[in-house]
Structure 1
C-alpha cells in the first residue's frame, strides 16, 4: 500500500533531504514551511503521517500537533527536535505525538521510525474497517439462497463489483440491501478501503448536510470542533446511502453535485475538496413515483440509477427461508453459547407459511428469539413467536383469486392490512415503538407517520382486546 507523508519544516533544504530519503521507499512526500501551510495540505490530501519540526515561525510544532490531534486524531505525528531539546520531544509525546527523532538524525533510524508509524496508521485504518464490519456481522455470510430471484441478485453483484458505477438497490425494508452493499464492497476493487454507511432517514434534516460533508468549527451553533463528513470518511472506498428516498430536496442538489463533480464543500468552508468514492444508494420507495410527485429530483434519480439491483421480498423466495433460518440459528446459537443443529419439521412448516412482512430482518429476529428460549439443540414450533401461528396475517398472505375477493376500496383494505401488522408488532414488543419498527423493517420515523395516519395512539398497553390484539386508549 502506498502512503502519503507530510514533512513540515521551515528549512527548505531539510524538506528536500527528507523528500529524497522517503521517496526511495515508494512514499509520496508533501512539504510545508509552517504549521498553517501544513493544515491547508491536510485539508486537501489524505495524509498518512506528519513529520514536524518543533521550532517554526508562526504556528510551531506543539501548536500544530494540538490541531492535528483535534482535527485528524487518526494521523500519527513524528516530532523532529535537536538533541539539546529532547525534553521538549518527550513532552510532545505526552501530548499525543507518535514518536520523535533528534537532529541531526541517522537515515536508518529515520526509516525505522517512519516505517513503524506507517504500520501503526495501517493498523488504525484496518481496525476502523473491521469495527464497521463487525457492526453488521451478518453482512456477507447472510447472502444465502438459491432461489431464481436471489440468483439474479448474486449475478448482478458479480457483474458490478469491480466497477465504479453508482448502484441503486431497491426493495422492501428488511430485504438485505445493506448486506448486498457490503458484499459488493468486500468483493470489489475497493475492499481494503473504508465502507461508510449512513441512514438518510435516521438523521435530522438540519444535521444531514453536516453529516454528509462535514463542517468547520464555529460554522453553526453547536459546531464546537471540526468534523469530517461521511464523504471524506469514505474517500477511496464506498459510501452507502441507505433510504436515499427520504433525503430532503434541499440536500439532493448537493448530493448530485458531489456525484457529478466528485467534489464537496464542508459547511463553513469556501474551499472545495476532491473525493473519490463509489456510491451505493438504497431505498424501499418507488423513486419514479417520488419524481412524479416532485418529492425527488429527476436528475439525481438517473445519476443514482446507473446500475439498479432490485431485491426480492422473502415471500418471493420461500425456498430460501430454511437455509437462512439454519444459518441464523447456527451463528446466533454460537453467540448465545448454545449448539443449535436444526429446526423441527413443524417449525420449518410454520416459517414457510408465514408472510414475513419484515423480510430477512424479521426472520433473523424470530430465530434469535427461538434460539434464546430453545431448551434443546432442535428448535421446536413452541419456541417460535406466537404471531407466526396467530392467523392475524392470513388474509394478507392470500392472493385475490375470485372477483368477489377484490376489495371495493383498495386504500381502505391496504390500511387494514397495515394496521394489523403494526398492532401485531406492538403486541409482541409490549408497545415499545422502536422495537416494533425494527421488527417490521421500517424506520422509527416511518412508524410514527403510520401511527398518525392510522390513528393509533400508543401510550402503553393497558388491556388486551379480541384475538389478543392490544387495545389503545
Structure 2
C-alpha cells in the first residue's frame, strides 16, 4: 500500500485523518508544519502527501512548490477552506493532483487518495516501460528522436513481442541490422540465438548448405555434418540481410520453410521442424525485383507481412548532433580513450553534411577521429566524399526526346516531401534550395 504523509497543524484533525487512512491499510506518517514535512520527506520519501492549506506561518502551497521543485513525482492532495475556490485553482495550476474543500466526508477523502494513488502507479509503470525501452534502444544502437525515428520505434515496439515476419527496407548504412536486433532483443526470444547472414556474400554454390545445412558427404568436400543458419537459430531469430541477393532455388526453399516451418538439410532424407522467426532486409526495391523476375512474388508477400523502413540520415538531420555525441562516447569507450571535443566550426560542417553513407558513414568518420584526433583529416574526408557525390551526380543524362520540365520539377518536389515526411525545411535543404524558393515552387505546382 502507498505511503501517505499527512500534514495538518491541528492535532485532533491530524489524528482523525491518520486513523481513517490507517484503517484502510495505508502506511501513514504525519507532520504538523511545512518545516517538519520537508525534513520527513528527506528522511523517507512518501508516495503521496495530503496537506492542509493553512499550516502556521507557511502554507500547503509552500510545501507543494517545494515538492514539485525537489521531488516532482510525489502525489499531492491539498485541502482548502470552504468557499476558497481560488485556492484550489491556484493549487492545481502549481501541480497538485487533486484538492478537497472543507468540510469533506470520509468517503470523499478516501476516493481522492485512491484516485491519486492509482494515477501515481500508472505514472511509475509508464516511466519504467519508457526507461526499459530507452535502454533496449541504446543497447542495440538505435539512436534518434526525429519524428521518422519515433515511427520506427513505435512499430518495433508493436510487433517485437510477436513472431510476425518483418521486411526492413532503407538505403545502405541506415541501421537495418540494428532494427532487426531491436526486434529480437525486445521479443520473448531475446535469450535465444540471433543469427545474421548476408545473402549477398554467399557463393551461389554454397548458399543452400549455408542456409539449410548439409549431411556428411552431401557434396564434394562435405567431410562432416554442417548445421545451417536456420537450424542454428532454432528458438531464436534469423536475420536475412540483402535478401534480394538470395538465389532462386533458395528462395523456393525459404518460402517452404515460411509456409510449413520445416527444413531439409542438403542430402537429408526427410524433414525437420524448426522454430525460427525470420526478419529480412534489403536496400533494393523488392517490388521492382519481382516485376523483373529476379525475386519470387509469393516469397515477397511472405516476407513483407510487416514492412519497416529505416529513414536515411538526411531525412532526420535533427539527429545528427545526437548521433555524433553517441559515437564519440561509444568509440572512446571501446578504445579506452578520453572523449574528444569537436570545435564548433567542425561540428557545424558535420551537421550540414549530406552523409550519403548514412549512419554507417558517420560512425566510421567519428571512430577515425576518436583514434587520430585530427579534425583537418576529418574535414578533408568530408570534402572528398562531397566531390565524389558530385562526380556521380554529374553522370545524369537527359533523354534525346527532351523532358517536360514542369512535370520533372513537380515530381522532384513531391519526392523530396515524401522523403522528409512533409517537413518543408528539410525538403528544401535536401534539394539544396532556399526555403523561400522551395515554397514558391510548391505554390507554383499547387502542392501546398
Measured against the shorter chain, the TM-score band is 0.5 to 0.7
What is the distance in 1 between the residues matched to 2:332 and 2:187? 31
* 1:201 to partner: Cα distance: 0.4
- Are 2:305 and 1:306 aligned? yes
Aligned partner of 2:209 in structure 1 is: 210
Aligned partner of 1:182 in structure 2 is: 181
Note the alpha carbon deviations across 1:339-374, whole angstroms, 9 max, x for none.
Answer: 115422222211122221211111111001111111
* 1:387 to partner: Cα distance: 2.7
Structure 2 counterparts to residues 359-398 of structure 1, below 5 A: 359-374=358-373, 381-390=375-384, 391-392=386-387, 395=390
Shift in alpha-carbon separation, 1:138–1:372, aligned structure 2, 3 A = farther
What is the distance in 1 between the residues matched to 2:158 and 2:200? 29
Shift in alpha-carbon separation, 1:146–1:229, aligned structure 2, 3 A = same
Does the 8 Å CA contact 1:140/1:180 hold for their aligned counterparts?
no
Aligned partner of 1:149 in structure 2 is: 148
> Which structure 1 residue ranges, 4+ long, deviate > 4 Å from structure 2?
393-398
Structure 2 counterparts to residues 72-471 of structure 1, below 5 A: 140-374=139-373, 381-390=375-384, 391-392=386-387, 395=390, 408-409=398-399
Shift in alpha-carbon separation, 1:397–1:206, aligned structure 2, 3 A = closer
What is the distance in 2 between the residues matched to 1:385 and 1:208? 42
Does the 8 Å CA contact 2:137/2:182 hold for their aligned counterparts?
no
Note the alpha carbon deviations across 1:229-262, whole angstroms, 9 max, x for none.
Answer: 1111111110100000011112100000011000
What is the distance in 1 between the residues matched to 2:397 and 2:207? 41
What is the distance in 1 between the residues matched to 2:149 and 2:165? 21
* 1:156 to partner: Cα distance: 0.7
What is the distance in 1 between the residues matched to 2:305 and 2:152? 16
* 1:214 to partner: Cα distance: 0.6
Does the 8 Å CA contact 2:195/2:238 hold for their aligned counterparts?
yes
Does the 8 Å CA contact 2:172/2:358 hold for their aligned counterparts?
yes
What is the distance in 1 between the residues matched to 2:399 and 2:322? 38
Matched residue SS, 1:150: helix
Gapped regions of structure 2 (runs ≥ 5) = 1-135, 401-448
Matched residue SS, 1:384: helix
Shift in alpha-carbon separation, 1:352–1:152, aligned structure 2, 3 A = same
Matched residue SS, 2:201: coil
Instruction: Point out the more displaced range, 313-322 or 162-171.
Output: 313-322
Note the alpha carbon deviations across 1:154-195, whole angstroms, 9 max, x for none.
Answer: 111101100110000001111101111001101111111111
Instruction: Point out the more displaced range, 209-218 or 389-398.
Output: 389-398
Matched residue SS, 2:200: coil
Gapped regions of structure 1 (runs ≥ 5) = 1-136, 375-379, 401-405, 411-473
Q: TM-score, normalised by structure 1?
A: 0.53
Aligned partner of 1:30 in structure 2 is: none
Aligned partner of 1:468 in structure 2 is: none
What is the distance in 1 between the residues matched to 2:236 and 2:138? 17
* 1:313 to partner: Cα distance: 0.7
Q: TM-score, normalised by structure 2?
A: 0.56
Note the alpha carbon deviations across 1:172-231, whole angstroms, 9 max, x for none.
Answer: 111101111001101111111111111100110110100111111000001000011111
Shift in alpha-carbon separation, 1:409–1:385, aligned structure 2, 3 A = farther
Does the 8 Å CA contact 2:199/2:242 hold for their aligned counterparts?
yes
Structure with the higher fraction of residues in helix conformation: 2
* 1:397 to partner: Cα distance: 11
Matched residue SS, 2:266: coil
Does the 8 Å CA contact 2:340/2:370 hold for their aligned counterparts?
no
Does the 8 Å CA contact 1:369/1:385 hold for their aligned counterparts?
no
Q: Computing the radius of gyration over CA atoms, which structure comes out larger, 1 or 2? A: 2
Instruction: Point out the more displaced range, 325-334 or 138-147.
Output: 138-147
